[in-house]
A and B are shown apart, each in its own frame.
Chain A
Amino acid sequence: MADAKNMVYLALQNNEDARPIIEAIEEDNPHAEINHFPAMVKIDAVGKLIVRRKTVEEKIGREWDPQEIHISLVSLSGNVIEDDDEFGVERDN
């Protein structure tokens, strides 16, 4: 059994909408590991992954609602955290 302690992930489509979100995740989550698959990017981390509204807005130059992530989200693992300023997944065991 692989070491699975508190692993979480977000998987996004590899497209124009998702790219700034992926960049924002990379910037705000230095512990995250970015894995590329055909048509899809899977971001793995231990403990927590956060997408911040502010970081994404800086990248795309317009207002961004964290719920817009639904359009390019492929899958996730972890307990969802969601409010007006961020979207994320976490595990804490």
Chain B
Amino acid sequence: MTQPPTSDARTTPLYDTHVASGATMVEFAGWLMPLRYRSESAEHRAVRDAAGLFDLSHMGEIRVHGPQAADCLDYALVGQLSTLAVGRARYTMIVTEQGGVLDDLIVYRLADDDYLVVANAANTGTVAAALTERAAGFTATITDETADYALLALQGPQSAAILGPLTDVDLSALRPYAAQHGTVAGTAVLLSRTGYTGEDGFEIYLRPGTAAPALWDTLVEAGQPHGLLPAGLAARDTLRLEAGMPLYGNELTAELTPYDAGLGRVVKLDKPGDFVGRAALAARASSGPTQVLVGLVGRGRRVPRKGYPVLRDGVPVGTVTSGAPSPTLGKPIAIAAVKAGTDLSSGAFAVDVRGRAEAVDVVDLPFYRRTS
């Protein structure tokens, strides 16, 4: 079922590695990526119980460099990146003048005048273009360096035990959302304690990406005694869904403000100076969101999926944004957007699954929170 690369699909430095290990490859955001290697549920459970290794080289790396890099990002993004300490990372967003989310981002401050903005693969071009436009008037240069990078994610409770012997970075001192340069198995990397799975874990940036296949093999071999499995995009999606993390294109779109996704905390209306989207976001902050995101747990086995209507006492009140069978809960789970003001504490909730109402319970997000 492996497809050869089509003329316009990009491949990561690990493409041959994935094909050789029998991965099911799919085109995702213009890249040929591993959907799963064998069983997506086994990969999911490996990340929860031990560790998983992901190729995220399709993600976009955009460098913002120059004396006014910090001011430029304070203007271009909703967060206050000038307050980010060197060696730290932060979750933030870039919005339109109307406040619509163009992408959610992880931004690293590598030096006083040097930031790395990590964008979703499908949005990298949009984000790079918007940053370039917004950098006008600032002494800062924007460079899309995606093609130079490979990105691996090692996720799960065994990650530190697997990585520790292979790196010169003191992992016990590398806190969540911290990043530092170092080596892993002799390869120079930027090592970051971040992820998208709800587990402890690391993201490993390699530039250039040519050393990625050797590093991948080393990590797989070192991880095997700990129960590590290579994991594909299918497991990545169910892991982030259980952890209640939004996915751009599902929970976040250009039609929604951060407030509508319950993520108003990333908008720093009190930062000094203007920023793109400020007026629209200030208005939305005072008027309140148009919708709220809720968790749904299915009582049956049919899965509420993206786009399916959510019913309260038979009346449509919203739409599923993401849904999947949860390997951890053993039940279908979903995130849904329901109209603001919907009474969630009473009423019978259901999802219209292809014409048949399936009973669901409304729960707080996330569905899963790690214990340690």
Question: Do A and B actually bind?
Answer: no
On A, residues with C-beta under 8 Å from B are: none
On B, residues with C-beta under 8 Å from A are: none
